[in-house]
Structure 1
Amino acid sequence: MRNAEVAGLLEEFADLLEAQDVEYKPNAYRRAAENVRDHPRAIEDLADEGGEDAVAEIDRVGDAIAAKIVEYLETDEMRELEDLREELPVEMAALTRVEGVGPKTVGTLYEELDITTLDELEAAAEAGEIREIKGFGAKTEGNILDNVAFAKEAGQRQRLGDARPLAEDVIGHLDHEAAVERIDVAGSIRRWKDTIGDVDVLVASGDSDVVVDLFTDWPDADDVIEAGEQKASVRVDGIRVDLRVVVPEEFGSALQYFTGSKAHNVTLRSLAIDRGLKLNEYGVFEVSDVDDPDSGQRVGERLGGGDESEMYGALDLPVIPPEIREDTGEIQAALDGDLPDLLTEGEIRGDLHTHTAWSDGANTIAEMVEAAADRGYEYHCVTDHAEGPGVFGDTGLTDEAAREQAEEVATVREDAEIDVHHGLEANIDADGDVTTSDDVLADLDIVIASPHAALDQGEATDRLIRAVEHPHVDVLGHPTGRLINQRPGLDVDFERLAEAAAAAGTALEVNSNPSRLDCNGDAVRAAVEAGAPIAVNTDAHSPPELDNVRYGIHTARRGWAETADVVNARDADGLRAFLE
């Protein structure tokens, strides 16, 4: 599918228009981009079947935008976008990764100082040139300089939500071929880290030449970086995809080795050495009687390597789930028989944090509830934005609108196959106060409280503790407010926050949106150890986004979360008990 590729171009179109102070159109392009990205069908298939008319049937994709999409799919070029790039030749994606630098700021910096890259932005800030621009000043310049390093680092890694579907696409391309006996992802993407470097794909085959040829002929590949007898690399949408082919009897050892993490493997190898074993990417070997165990990679008696279970089993260990292979106590836990029974896909019974067209969502309440029921959920929570600081486009519900929405929720509830709960996503201000009135909050089934503004003020633990202790707050939504590779979010002491949440009975959210994954794994681990409840939610603004729950599940697994730790892994009665 080329949906994400096309959506990215529309978002760039929006940014370039905004940078030139064009009104209205930027939001139209962003809405179209969101719906193209989430559309269940491949955009190229729609264009092939029905041209512009079929593409224009996607919600909020008008005729003009549909024409540009079809133009790009047919010619690999969007002429108006190219014209905008020529008018404003800046590295928009890189520059807007700097906290506080939006498209309009990029336009001003280019007009005043001819800044086009992060390096030029950094040099201008260091030289004190930015403060001289009207409306900027020394504080703005200092903030930009402080955040350039994060923007540079973020540009070197890809979001899991962008890379994981790509990995699954290449697996789908290769998996049906007879020469491919086994296939899986490796590296940080298999450990479900929130960002990854490259996509690593491992294949077991007795005919590596055929597999390499199939891989380099992948239609989605933009270019082939290198191709050898057992390895190859291609680039897709700026992401490097690496293939490694091994013989089937070494697939398990290679998978274990290349999954990592490096620290996990070092500790595992040390354990093997203590037992007279050699553990590497080629297998596990008995070397206690070998004079020089370092004389080769395959020396000694081979004990296994076809499956990961043989690698861990040789050390009297169960297979440790990839998500927790970070050398943070998992090997000792395995030795002690105390590995957590991690939450699994399919155990989430409903979503506590979703949006509808009442605020900034794309669908009606009934459509979102139906989508939840179609996924086999037992319940669904409607939690549109309340009005307050930082809410996108001032789309939040007033107190009066929240009460009106309650009536529609009640109507939908009558015909729904599942439980439907009415709530709000309220806002946490800079002082930690929840900005929706208490009398409205008291009438709701569920209250999510989230920070949306003042996200650059650094240490904010006391602010969030104040929110989790609010008597009407059930869930603290996306606690840091971070956007991966865009802004770092609030600085939070999660051990203190988790203790406060445990005492208050307030759940900490794992927001499954691939741009957030907030709480991250470390924060979840703090919550688990403190006994604070966790909620794995999607923050979905359309039905397809409900499927992002898998990213939240695996993030929770990275934090050692078990099923009992997660409030929305409980059945309908269990959720009601939590909310009451």
Structure 2
Amino acid sequence: MSRNDEVASVLEEFADRLEATGVEYKPTAYRRAAENVRDHPTPIETLVQEGEEAVQGIDRVGDAIAAKIVEYVQTGSIEELEELRSEFPVEIDALTRVEGVGPKTVGTLYEELGITTLDELAAAAEAGEIREITGFGETTEENIRENVPFARQARERERLGDARPIADAAVTYLADADPVATIEVCGSIRRWRDTIGDVDLLVGSDDPEATVAGFTDWPEADAVIEAGTNKASVRADGLRVDLRVVAVAEFGAALQYFTGSRDHNIAVRNRALDRGLKVNEYGVFDVSDVADPEAGQRVGDRIAGETEAGVYEALEMAWIPPELRENTGEVDAAAADDLPTLIEEGDVRGDLHTHTDWSDGDASIEGMVAAAADRGYDYHAITDHATGPGVFGNTGLDPANLADQAAAVDAVRKEASIPVFHGVEANITADGELATDDDTLADLDIVVASPHAALGTSDDATDRLVRAIEHPAVDVLGHPTGRMINSREGLTVDFERLATVAAREDVAIEVNANPARLDANGEAVHAAIDAGATIVINTDAHTPGEFEHVRYGIHTARRGWAERADVLNTRSADGVRSFLEG
């Protein structure tokens, strides 16, 4: 596992602290550098070994930032950042998790009230002190007070997209170890929940002590938290990674048990009891002739447990994909052999929501299309931001820009090996209108309509999105709630109603695969499918590297019981074109 994410996070903290202390221009440079370090295919530590000039080869990393990256990788700290932390001793990551509190606001709160932590911010809001600051007022104070609890909760769980690469790296490392017979992630990360607590690893091995010793020697581990004979915990990139080693013969039962969810396991356990069986982390046991089934964990005749499929088979059930294990009907469906055939990684044939350097992306039209073709996609869509509320840095395209871009896309089409759709991500205003005029929209292949502003709590959020869906030019409802995981909750939407309208209007509901969004989520996908609406899985990629995020969207759709046929961009280019023109 490379340290690119770690270094990028440090640069982002640098940017936030600079902005909070009133420095102009530099914060943007650090954030752009952070994005490109995170997406760079070469491990940053490899570039540092090659020298500062190699680090400067990363787009938008100049000599000053490159020197700081080298300093951090070689020493573990940056002197200038440590000085900033000393001069401005605030928990900036925690404070900026509060919706509406950006780095500049943090700076003002520190200067005026000496606020450095979430607890101090909450206390100041409760005491009515924030409203007294010039430029704040009662509304700002109330918003802060209401959003502090969400910020606290966000600190307790990590985004799936931050944790999964660490889990994958740990699995890859351990899978090559001699004592390891089999290994898998478990817990919420195996169910692909959008946030997770810790990374949980399960290993089947007949030599647990050697397995634990190898795990605690993992080069990516920053510290060993604890280590026993068959369990261990380390910290990697700030995340706790827990290992449990079980006997190979009991691996399947343990995997089923520790994957969860709790509600799913209760339903499975109740089904076992109805059949005179007992299921636990050690196996499935026939206890029909046992006087006291609770006398011990391994009481009774063991009839399954080596494989997870065997556990479900012993209970007369089909194996249930982990994403479905939330006790939302999957147990009955598995018993009736009526589980969906879920969409798989590799089924998506193109991306229908991406950005280029014409708006806020980092790659050219040619670069994005070429990367899509290299990935094996059958088609690609360019959908840069249009002008409108909530667009980052006023980078949206007006009608004249879109007309110019259409000509540029036409030129790329002539050379591209795959079909290219030209579209736009239009902004949904607070009243459900589109911020782009109808004549401009009519000339495009695809229109993704997305909310970017006015994302606070609102009773009419569903009305707003319904109105946008009913616009005749709209093809896709992009990231419907506008949420940013662990940052803002987004709109509260009645997805059953929304999906019914989307099905009627032939508008696809997007699963935005950006790990910071995963919007719509699994529950919303399930509602959409039940209503007969079409799903589309897009990455919202701003760089070619972000195409890799598609797997998060696929597994989110699987959590919503999505099959291949439910998803627009599993179809051919002609199939997509037919949907868009229908």
Q: TM-score, normalised by structure 1?
A: 0.99
> 1:172-225: per-residue Cα shift (whole Å, max 9, x none)?
111111111100000000000000000000011111111111111112112111
Mapped partners of 1:510, 1:40: distance in 2: 25
Opposite residue 574 of structure 1, the aligned amino acid is G
Whole-Å separation in 2 of the counterparts to 1:370 and 1:526 = 35
Counterpart of 1:343 in 2: which secondary structure?
Answer: coil
* 3-state secondary structure, aligned to 2:51: helix
Match of 2:300 in 1: 300
CA positional deviation for 1:89: 0.6
Report what 2:567 is aligned to: 566
Q: Give aligned-pair identity as a percent.
A: 67
- How far, CA to CA, are the matches of 1:6 and 1:85 in structure 2? 17
For residues 531 and 92 of structure 1, the distance between their equivalents in structure 2, rounded to whole angstroms, comes to 44
Where does 1:19-38 land on structure 2 (aligned, <5 Å)? 19-38=20-39
Deviation, structure 1 residue 17: 0.8
CA distance in 2, matches of 1:142, 1:494: 28
Q: Which residue of structure 2 lines up, in the alignment, with residue 400 of structure 1?
A: 400
Q: For structure 1, which segment, 453-462 or 442-451, has the greater mean C-alpha deviation from structure 2 after superposition? A: 453-462
CA RMSD of aligned residues (A): 0.7
Aligned residue for 2:551? 550
The amino acid that maps onto 1:259 is T
Letter in 2 for 1:298: R
Counterpart of 1:206 in structure 2 is 206
Give the conservation status (yes or no) of the 8 Å contact 2:203–2:244: yes
Determine the C-alpha separation between the residues in 2 that align with 1:153 and 1:147.
Answer: 10
CA distance in 2, matches of 1:449, 1:368: 21
Contact 2:160 2:196 in 1 (8 A): yes
For 1:149, the equivalent position in structure 2 comes to: 149
Q: What corresponds to 2:289 in structure 1?
A: 289
Deviation per CA, 1:467-501: give whole Å up to 9, x if none: 11110000000011100000000111111111111
Counterpart Cα distance in 1 of 2:456 and 2:22: 25
Tell me the residue number matched to 2:79.
Answer: 79
Q: Contact 2:7–2:69 (CA<8 Å) still a contact in 1?
A: yes
Deviations 1:515-553 (A, max 9, x none): 000000011011010011111000000001001000000
Q: CA deviation at 1:237?
A: 2.2
- Answering whether residue 540 of structure 2 is matched by residue 539 of structure 1, we say yes
Deviations for 1:400-449, whole angstroms, at most 9, x for unmatched residues?
00000001100111111111000000100100100101111000000001
| Other-structure match for 2:117 | 117
SS in 2 for 1:47: helix
Secondary structure class of the residue paired with 1:466: helix
CA distance 1:457–1:280, change in 2 (3 Å): closer
2:516 corresponds in structure 1 to 515
Q: Which residue of the partner structure matches residue 506 of structure 1?
A: 507
CA displacement, residues 226-270 of structure 1 (integer Å, 9 cap, x when unaligned): 110000011122211100001100110000000000000000000
1: CA distance, partners of 2:526 / 2:234: 36
- Which secondary structure state, in structure 2, belongs to the residue aligned with residue 385 of structure 1? coil
Instruction: Tell me how far apart the structure 2 counterparts of residues 458 and 160 of structure 1 sit (CA, whole Å).
Output: 27
SS at match of 1:517: coil
Instruction: Give the corresponding residue for 2:413.
Output: 413
Q: Say which SS state the counterpart of residue 116 (structure 2) adopts.
A: coil
Match of 1:343 in 2: 343
Kept in 1, the 8 Å contact 2:434–2:449? The answer is yes
Q: Deviations over 1:24-57 (max 9, x none)?
A: 1111111110111111111101111x21100110
Counterparts of 2:424 and 2:574, CA distance in 1: 21
d(CA) in 2 for partners of 1:513 and 1:54?
A: 29
Give distance in 1, aligned partners of 2:254 and 2:334.
21
d(CA) in 1 for partners of 2:326, 2:222: 33
Aligned residue in 1 for 2:487: 486
Q: Give, as a single letter, the amino acid of the residue that structure 1 aligns with 2:512.
A: N
Q: Quote the residue 1:60 is aligned against.
A: 60
Structure 2 residue matching 1:128: 3-state secondary structure:
coil
Runs of 5+ consecutive residues of structure 2 not aligned to the other structure = none
Between the aligned partners of 2:78 and 2:561, the Cα distance in structure 1 is 46
Is the CA contact (8 Å cut-off) linking 2:429 and 2:451 kept in structure 1?
Answer: yes
One-letter amino acid of the structure 2 residue matched with residue 542 of structure 1: T
Q: CA deviation at 1:457?
A: 3.9
Tell me the equivalent position of 2:167.
167
Distance in 2 of aligned mates of 1:203 and 1:428: 48
Query: Deviation at 1:22?
Result: 1.1
Paired residue secondary structure (2:384): strand
Alignment partners' CA distance in 2, 1:475 and 1:328:
27
Residue type of the partner of 1:329?
A: G
In the TM superposition, residue 152 of structure 1 has moved relative to its aligned partner by: 0.2
Aligned mates of 2:462, 2:60 — CA distance in 1:
39
Superposition misfits of 4+ residues, deviation over 2 angstroms: none
> In structure 2, the residue corresponding to 1:405 is in which secondary structure?
helix
- TM-score, structure 2 normalization: 0.99
Deviation at 1:109, TM superposition (A): 0.4
- Once residues 13 and 394 of structure 1 are traced to their aligned partners in structure 2, the CA distance between those partners, rounded to angstroms, is 23
- What is the CA deviation profile of residues 271-306 of structure 1, one whole-angstrom value per residue up to 9, with x for unaligned ones? 000001110000011110111110011111111111
Partner of 1:423: 423
Is it true that 1:39 corresponds to 2:37 in the alignment?
A: no
Q: Aligned partners of 2:433, 2:51: CA distance in 1, in Å?
A: 51
- Structure 2 residue matching 1:496: 3-state secondary structure: helix
User: In structure 2, what is the Cα distance between the partners aligned to 1:458 and 1:69?
Assistant: 43
Equivalence for 1:357:
357
Give unmatched runs, 5+ long, in structure 1: none
2:97 paired residue number: 97
Residues in 2 aligned to 1:318 and 1:334: alpha-carbon distance in whole angstroms: 5
Show the 5 A alignment for 1:449-460.
449-459=449-459, 460=461
Q: Are 2:525 and 2:560, in contact at CA under 8 Å, matched by a contact in 1? A: yes
Other-structure match for 2:467:
466
Q: Shift of residue 458 of structure 1?
A: 2.5
* 1:51 matches 2:51: yes
Q: Which secondary structure state, in structure 1, belongs to the residue aligned with residue 156 of structure 2? A: coil
2:239 aligns to what? 239
- 1:92-116 deviation line (CA, Å, top 9, x unaligned): 1110110110000000000011100
How many pairs does the alignment contain? 579
Amino acid at match of 2:482: G
Query: For the Cα contact (< 8 Å) 2:317–2:336, is it kept in 1?
Result: no
Structure 2 partner of 1:189: 189
- In 2, Cα distance between equivalents of 1:374 and 1:237: 31
Q: Distance in 2 between matches of 1:22 and 1:390?
A: 23
Tell me the distance in 1 between the aligned counterparts of 2:196 and 2:106. 27
SS in 2 for 1:149: helix
